[in-house]
Structure 1
């Protein structure tokens, strides 16, 4: 799991760079022809990790319900994310990595409810969910690299 966690930490660092490098207006901009923005992608990867790793393990997620509602699969940004919400997302971005690592080391992930993703991946174990999470975050990082060309 060391490599999985290292990859995830690197991914989250790249997301943090977006938060540090773009203004609130830029984070909220939905370019013509696109369906989301930078901040939605970052919020979405936080929410998705919590669902994939905690909820599918039968454990509570460590994010506010409002964040889950705003960034879950099928949600769309309105381009009005507040600075306070951006700050919350920035905090959770790295905090959830540390929380998950501590929980993994403590052995709290004992069960897993298998899940078929919308893209056709079958996740049968917690480890598979973590590995898929890294793949998923890579997809959204690519989307963000496309979005930034329009800002």
Structure 2
């Protein structure tokens, strides 16, 4: 797949994530429904952190990860264990909005590069190129958009894409 196509998909997916964020209040962002482990705020922070970790680390580079993000939004974390104040929705929006352009600037024209070692998903599946990792990161973001949508529906939010604040 051509670099521009993968980044176009990233832009579309991120546009939808930002739309979901814009239809979320601070109060809604921290609600964790019964049977769930995480909140909307956690999913948004996890999306940002995952892109930084997956793509940059595969390329052997350091991503732009704000202090405390790994502890708050990493794999197997939960708001129930947070120490300190999580980022506001305004801060998450800024980070999520800026990230795609920064990733494009760093990785456009490089997606055929192989990492130092494959990104092993399962015993049978390993991603060997940056393109494969970016494609996975895009899918992963969509997965978390689904979680955000589900949490909103549990809260009785029907209009998932209308902004509630600017």
User: Same fold by TM (over 0.5)?
Assistant: yes
Structure 1 residues 57 and 83, CA gap change in structure 2 (3 angstroms): closer
One of 93, 97, 101 as aligned partner of 2:100? 97
Correspondence for 1:133: 137
Q: Quote the RMSD (CA, aligned, Å).
A: 2.5
Contact in 1 for aligned 2:111/2:131 (Cα 8 Å): no
Q: CA deviation at 1:130?
A: 0.3
Q: Does 1:47 pair with 2:49?
A: yes
Larger relative contact order (CA 8 Å, sep ≥ 6): 2
Structure 1 residues 84 and 135, CA gap change in structure 2 (3 angstroms): closer
Correspondence for 2:161: none
Of Structure 1 and Structure 2, which has the larger fraction of its residues in helix?
1
Q: CA deviation at 1:97?
A: 0.4
Contact in 2 for aligned 1:115/1:122 (Cα 8 Å): yes
Correspondence for 2:151: 147
In structure 1, the gaps of 5 or more residues are none
Report how many residues are paired.
Answer: 151
Contact in 1 for aligned 2:72/2:86 (Cα 8 Å): no
Query: What is the TM-score normalised by the length of structure 2?
Result: 0.80
Q: CA deviation at 1:82?
A: 5.1
Contact in 1 for aligned 2:112/2:131 (Cα 8 Å): no
**Alpha-carbon deviations, 1:85-106, whole Å to 9, x = none?**
3222111102110001011237
Q: CA deviation at 1:56?
A: 1.7
In structure 2, the gaps of 5 or more residues are 156-166
Query: What is the TM-score normalised by the length of structure 1?
Result: 0.87
User: Greater CA radius of gyration, 1 or 2?
Assistant: 2
